[in-house]
Chains A and B, each alone.
Chain A
Amino acid sequence: MVKFLLRRLVNYLILVALATSLAYVLAASTLNTRSNYEGRNPPPPPAVVNQTLDELNANDQTPVLQRYARWVNGVVHGNFGKTPVAADGVGAEMKRRVGVSLRLLLLGTIIGSTFGVLAGVISAIRQYRLTDHLITVGSFLLLSTPVFLLANLLKVYSVDFNHAIGHDFLLYTGEKNPTLVGGFADHVIDRIRHLILPTLSIALGQTAFYSRYQRNSMLDVLGSDFLRTAQAKGLRRGQALFKHGLRTALIPMATFFAYNFGLLIVGATFTEKIFTWHGMGEWFVDSVTRHDINAVAAVTLFVAVMVLISGLLSDIAYAALDPRVRIR
């Protein structure tokens, strides 16, 4: 099994390197950093502009491949280049932002997959009953609602909610209150109040996503012979369902987990932007608008690495759940 995972890892690493290189070359050839200095009054002298662009490694007069070589050389040595917005470079800015995004992604994944699997299992066990219909329609509705709309709706309704309880309980700007003074508990509560809406905005869609697949795979398992055998040899139905049924029905979820992670990151981008969390997604959107090539490349690298990790995790989960993989 170690050999199997190692082979996957090497495969993923090559893909990440290529995907990031591709993204860098695309970004370097389409984003025009020079336009940031055009239209200024008084116009900066061309020599100064060129020098600034050279420092950023974003001079469009230098061939793209040459800039790419310089960028790769930097990245290999842990230097992600410079950015006009942060004096200490892309690497330092990334360090500040990675945590913000990871908290959101982690919570979204854990809540989404747990509740999604639960909803799916319940839906399958109660097939064609009222519970099943409600879960099905609800998940279809959530799957049809894009994150940016859901986040905005949550924001609008939280205003009503706060108004109704007469107290600003749900907060929707930023990750924490920077001016808050108080003990540790106050800070935790402050974080949680900021966290609820953004987490909901990505976890709801995730829950709906997983519940659909879990329902399908659970239904396939429910009719199987091994489940009847398990009950025949004396297990109670609940035990049989969860010990034998759920475990088998979870196997296909491992594949969806890897696939879904890219979607989750894209969703988190909207969440960060709408709730003004200063994470990687917000940084990406702002950097594309600002023609900041180094920052765009850094976010792409982050996303590719996250997809790689989720791919590996899903391979491990697959191997853990399905004994047949371990023999290979």
Chain B
Amino acid sequence: MTMPDPVMVAAADEATATKPVGEDIASISRGRLVLRRFLRKRLAVLGLFLVVALFLLAFIGPHLTKWSYESQDFNAYLKPPSPSHWFGTTQIGEDVFAQTMRGMQKSLIIGLLAAFLGTGTAAIVGAFAGYFSGWVDRVLMWMVDLLLVLPGFLIIAILSPSFRGKTWLVFVVLLAAFVWMITARVVRGLTMSLKEREFVQAARFMGVPPTRIIFRHILPSMASLLIIDYTINVGGVILAETGLSFFGFGVQPPDVSLGTLIRDGTRSASTYPWLFQFAGGLLILFVLAVNFVGDGLRDALDPNAQSSRAR
């Protein structure tokens, strides 16, 4: 459920775009350069602003209203948005704003965590496969193929009874387990070319153990690819999470996420649109903002990819 595009485009130029490790002066100026390129993209800046704003809203918002997500207003059942209930109320008088904020908190946290785990797995699996080649490579890449044949969505749905009643962190790990495969392939390809570069060769001939070479030299050299991949994954994971929760295969009560809210709201979607419109709108807005940021980051971090496209 991720989008491979930025990763693949970035990958083509990653090997040439990276700086030699350990040059502090160069890294400062590169950071500035990246920042300047990023700020030039209006949509990306807007996206970043939206991401931050939505985060603040999700965590500060609940304190701005006197209603909590559990409390009921016995004087307002199924009322449309009003000054006292900004997003309206549900069938049993719950405040939709408070519920939406709570759902958004969970969705955002799940997105950030699962995407991090996913990108991390991709980096480690890809780098090990590429660095060691031989049977390690064959076994790992074969696992990747296997997972690509089965949509993760189906497997998580099948496994959903087993994490019902357990912590939502299990769900996070499962989500992460199905987003790393394509990036792992890209990382593997890059590692294979980085392995032949002088700074890696030098480390190897000095006797640095392979694990250390991977974590100290190879992975930092593809940091920009991994950052882009992480951003894209956040959007993808949130879409996957809300989708699974929509069917009841994801976040389980008493936890709520944007997905469970939309599911509950769409049952009477045409008559009481406020029950799902706000959760849906915020979901689209957040994923859209994340995608803008990812797109901007790709252009900022991979000048070569950009120049090839701007020709």
Contact = CB atoms under 8 A, between A and B. Distances in A.
A266 B151 contact: yes
Contact of A140 (B157, B276, B291): B291
B1 A289 contact: no
Interface stretch (B18-26, B119-127, B235-243): B235-243
Interface in B270-305: 270, 273, 276, 280, 283-284, 287-288, 291-292, 295
Contacts of B208: none
A22 interface: yes
Contacts of A18: 146
Contacts, number: 129
Contacts of B166: none
Interface of A is mostly: helix
A148 B246 contact: yes
Given A216-B9, A263-B1, A23 B150 contact: yes
B154 A153 contact: no
A204 interface: no
A66 to B, nearest CB: 20
Contacts of B269: 152, 155-156
Contacts of A291: 161
B288 A144 contact: yes
Contacts of B308: 220, 223
A26 B151 contact: no
A303 B150 CA distance: 8
Contact of B149 (A16, A27, A153): A16
B262 interface: yes
A26 B155 contact: yes
Contacts of B161: 30-32, 288, 291
A141 B157 CA distance: 27
Interface string A132-167: 000001001101111111001101100100000000
B213 interface: no
Interface string A11-53: 1100110110011001100111000000000000000000000
A137 B46 CA distance: 13
B182 interface: yes
Contacts of B68: none
B284 A307 contact: no
Contacts of B287: 144-145
A147 B280 CA distance: 11
Contact of A285 (B149, B182, B247): B247
A295 B172 CA distance: 27
Size category of the B interface is 35 or more
Nearest to B9: A216
Given A31-B161, A140-B292, A259-B4, A308 B149 contact: yes
A303 B162 CA distance: 22
A11 B149 CA distance: 11
Contacts of A144: 235, 239, 284, 287-288, 291
Contacts of B1: 263, 266
A156 B270 contact: yes
Interface of B is mostly: helix
A284 B9 contact: no
Contacts of A147: 243
A117 to B, nearest CB: 15
B191 to A, nearest CB: 20
Contacts of A141: 284, 288
Contact of A146 (B151, B239, B309): B239
B157 A288 contact: yes
Contacts of B154: 23, 266, 284, 299-300, 303
A296 interface: yes
Nearest to A32: B161
A288 B276 CA distance: 25
B42 to A, nearest CB: 11
Given A216-B9, A219-B309, A259-B4, A300 B153 contact: no
A12 to B, nearest CB: 8
A213 interface: yes
Interface in B249-271: 249, 262, 266, 269-270
A22 B159 contact: no
A140 B288 CA distance: 7
A304 interface: yes
Interface of B: 1, 3-5, 9, 43, 145-146, 148-151, 153-155, 157-162, 182, 235, 239, 242-243, 246-249, 262, 266, 269-270, 273, 276, 280, 283-284, 287-288, 291-292, 295, 308-309, 311
Given A152-B280, A266-B151, 11 more contacts: A26-B158, A144-B284, A146-B239, A148-B246, A216-B309, A219-B311, A220-B308, A222-B311, A259-B148, A266-B153, A288-B249
Interface of A: 11-12, 15-16, 18-19, 22-23, 26-27, 30-32, 137, 140-141, 143-149, 152-153, 155-156, 159, 209, 212-213, 216, 219-220, 222-223, 256, 259, 262-263, 265-266, 269-270, 273-274, 284-285, 288-289, 291, 296, 299-300, 303-304, 307-308
7 contacts: A11-B145, A152-B266, A156-B269, A212-B3, A212-B5, A274-B266, A300-B154
